[in-house]
Structure 1
Amino acid sequence: MKRGGGGKREVEEGVKVVATNRRARFDFTIEDTWEAGISLLGSEVKSLREGNVNLSDAYAQPKGSELFLVNCRIGEYKQAGPFGHSPLRDRKLLLKRAELDRIRGRVEQRGYTLVPLQLYFKEGWAKLELGLGKGRSHEDRREAIAERESKREMDRALARGRRR
């Protein structure tokens, strides 16, 4: 039985998706993914539960021996009043040391970026799906669109064949 009330998409039991970065898989070729916890303030958690978050310009960046989510906008929680949070502050990502070292090694290679793909609650904890992406060129994007269109055409043709 699935729990959660009216999330955009529920993948598995106990998971409520809050935000998805749909543009990430179009702009980047995602080679690997990780699940990271996020260090949040109370007003940020409340705001996330309302779905008040934007991942479109966000990315993860190593600073020192830690990993931070940069430029992720979590809107202010109105009931917090003056005790709320700054919407664009850097948020620490929680990963095991071995994963962090592996990620750091791959990010330092030229052309790789850590892109947030999804923000969700899993068993009550806020989690972020991070993808290791390599930026696509304009031509690569055109190829992706062409592939998607051809796949759609084939699916339509198959569907028409089944109806007859």
Structure 2
Amino acid sequence: MAKQKTDPNYKVIAENRRARFDYAIEQDLECGIMLEGSEVKSLRAGGSNIAESYAAVEEGELWLVNSYIAPYEQAKVFKHEERRRRKLLVSRKEMADLWNATQRKGMTLVPLVLYFNHRGMAKIKIGIAKGKKNHDKREAQAKRDWSRQKQRLLKDHG
């Protein structure tokens, strides 16, 4: 992954940082995403949000629901809908695995990162996740605070 970040074509467009706080991510998967031309142009300009979106398996296909891609101003005739459902591209085996995962109680598919890969193709990383309870969230916050405090103490006394 570190190699991709140094690549000039690799660019993170949108990140769902809240997902790692609200969900316990068991597994993640890279998917292709079917976009229209004006959507790709808008993504290159940086106008998108995947925080409120989710992925769903419907009729044997994987869909990204409620993701926002800003309208592209220069598109006069071929404008796109901002919050339309977008088809995600995965293999049949991966689709079966995702469907089986979502059938388990409490499991859902959440988008984690939307990015352009090293070839310049738009990709989305989705995670198979289970919702965290409030006490789990507080515990994670306490661990994070303690590690920050330790770093400060080591820096001051180091």
Superposed pair shares fold, TM > 0.5? yes
Q: Displaced runs of 4+ in structure 1, greater than 6 A?
A: none
1:157 maps to which residue?
Answer: 153
2:54 maps to which residue?
Answer: 59
Q: Please, what TM-score do these two structures have when normalized by structure 2?
A: 0.93
2:120 aligned with 1:124: yes
Structure 2, unaligned runs of 5 or more:
none
CA distance in 1 between counterparts of 2:5 and 2:52 reads 24
Match of 1:11 among 5, 8, 18: 5
Q: Please, what TM-score do these two structures have when normalized by structure 1?
A: 0.89
Map of 1:14-163 to 2, 5 A cutoff? 14-122=9-117, 123-162=119-158
**Following TM superposition, by how much is the alpha carbon of 1:25 offset from its aligned partner in structure 2, in angstroms?**
0.4
CA distance in 2 between counterparts of 1:90 and 1:107 reads 19
Q: Identity percentage over the alignment?
A: 45
**Following TM superposition, by how much is the alpha carbon of 1:157 offset from its aligned partner in structure 2, in angstroms?**
1.6
RMSD, aligned α-carbons: 1.4
1:7 maps to which residue?
Answer: none
**Following TM superposition, by how much is the alpha carbon of 1:12 offset from its aligned partner in structure 2, in angstroms?**
4.5
